[in-house]
Structure 1
Amino acid sequence: MGGEEVTDAIRKIADRVTAGRGYELVDLEVKREPRGHRVRLFVDKEGGIGLDDLQSVSEEMSAILDVEDPVDSSYTLEVSSPGLDRPLRNEADYKRFLGRLARISSYEPVEGRRHWTGRLVSVEDGVVNLDLEHENGAPARIPLSKIAHGRLEVEFPRAEGRGRASGHRING
């Protein structure tokens, strides 16, 4: 099988395994390396995914991959959560994380910009509305069709009485 066929076969298996548990397959990476393939699954569920959940997905995926054998060489399987700064891939993701801080980049300029960081306000008619908290003016309106990358930003609450910042953010 070619690279794309291998990825498609693994994605079908991963979709079956995660959907059967009520989990979401956030992303899948299959990379050929000198000593075989590296297969990475990023899995989540409503309320957050735990280590036991990830282990059970890993065990079932490994068993099925060994039987169905879509990879023509040895492979390393990694199953993890998408992280606190998880990617936003589709309209459902943007709606799910309304109120959260996000960083968005577009394929081409929208309203004269290609990069924004702000709070997800709404998603209406295929447009993400982003409150640019530290900038004066109307929220940014970014069509989903023009979004190249979207990702949640990690926020840490401000310690009371320690500075004037309303929160801390890690850019990664």
Structure 2
Amino acid sequence: MKTKTTLDERLLALVEPIAMAMGFEIVRVRVMGGKRKTFQIMAERNDGTMNVEDCATLSRAVSAMLEENDPIGDEYTLEVSSPGIDRPLTAPAHFARWEGFEAKLELDRLVEGRKRFTGTLAGYEEGHVLLDMKGETETAHIPFDWIADAKLVLTDALMAADLKARGGAPEQGSEETP
């Protein structure tokens, strides 16, 4: 799920060793657009952080390789970013790390007449993403290989967890006094 096309796969093979050597995990790569393409790289450190300086450092390292190899062939803009709060989930470890948070999954096939599922992540086990869905009594076991796209849902709980991880504290509500 880190890639969608064969070009994305070739680019991942080129940039992933560079990123790994610098202490970054590639979350996703995509080449998007028509006439003027955008080569998007989402990355983060092992602790889940990715600041502006990290993006610039990785961008410079990848740019040097891209200039030398020209794997895209057309004009493009390189965009290096963090995955963001409502991040894509592209590796088994992501589903375990974000257990307890709401996620949307889209499958590459119909299951019980549908492809899209939303629920609370319940972990990852033996090649399956575990998902607790409203109205269901049992945890769904969805084969990781069936997932075409997955991402966290932006909720108050997710924003609070992100703020806490960045060293902030949620704002305390203030009461009005007469």
The alignment's TM-score, normalised by the length of structure 1, stands at 0.74
Q: Deviations over 1:13-70 (max 9, x none)?
A: 31122101111111112247435x4321111122321111001011111222223333
Query: What percentage of aligned pairs have identical amino acids?
Result: 31
Where structure 1 has 5 or more consecutive residues not aligned to the other structure, the ranges are: 162-172
Write the mapping of 1:12-23 to structure 2, written as runs, cut at 5 A: 12-23=13-24
Write the mapping of 1:119-138 to structure 2, written as runs, cut at 5 A: 119-132=120-133, 134-135=134-135, 137-138=137-138
2-structure distance, mates of 1:142, 1:123: 9
Would the alpha carbon gap of residues 148 and 61 (structure 1) be closer, same or farther in structure 2, given more than 3 Å must change?
closer
Q: 1:145: which partner in 2?
A: 145
Larger relative strand fraction: 1
Per the TM alignment, residue 113 of structure 1 is displaced from its structure 2 partner at its CA by 4.6
1-structure distance, mates of 2:109, 2:9: 29
Residue 80 of structure 2 corresponds to residue 79 of structure 1: yes
Report the residue type matching 2:20 in the other structure: A
The answer to whether the 8 Å contact 1:120/1:131 transfers is yes
Q: How many residues end up aligned between the 2 structures?
A: 156
1-structure distance, mates of 2:6, 2:148: 24
The alignment's TM-score, normalised by the length of structure 2, stands at 0.72
State the secondary structure of the residue aligned to 2:63: helix
Residue 69 of structure 2 corresponds to residue 68 of structure 1: yes
Where structure 2 has 5 or more consecutive residues not aligned to the other structure, the ranges are: 161-170, 174-178
The answer to whether the 8 Å contact 1:110/1:142 transfers is no
Report the residue type matching 2:49 in the other structure: G
Report the residue type matching 2:151 in the other structure: R
**Aligned-residue CA RMSD in angstroms?**
2.8
State the secondary structure of the residue aligned to 1:137: coil
Write the mapping of 1:8-157 to structure 2, written as runs, cut at 5 A: 9-31=10-32, 33-35=34-36, 37-45=37-45, 46-111=47-112, 113-132=114-133, 134-135=134-135, 137-157=137-157
2-structure distance, mates of 1:15, 1:108: 29
Report the residue type matching 2:75 in the other structure: S
Report the residue type matching 2:103 in the other structure: A
Would the alpha carbon gap of residues 77 and 124 (structure 1) be closer, same or farther in structure 2, given more than 3 Å must change?
same
Q: 1:170: which partner in 2?
A: none
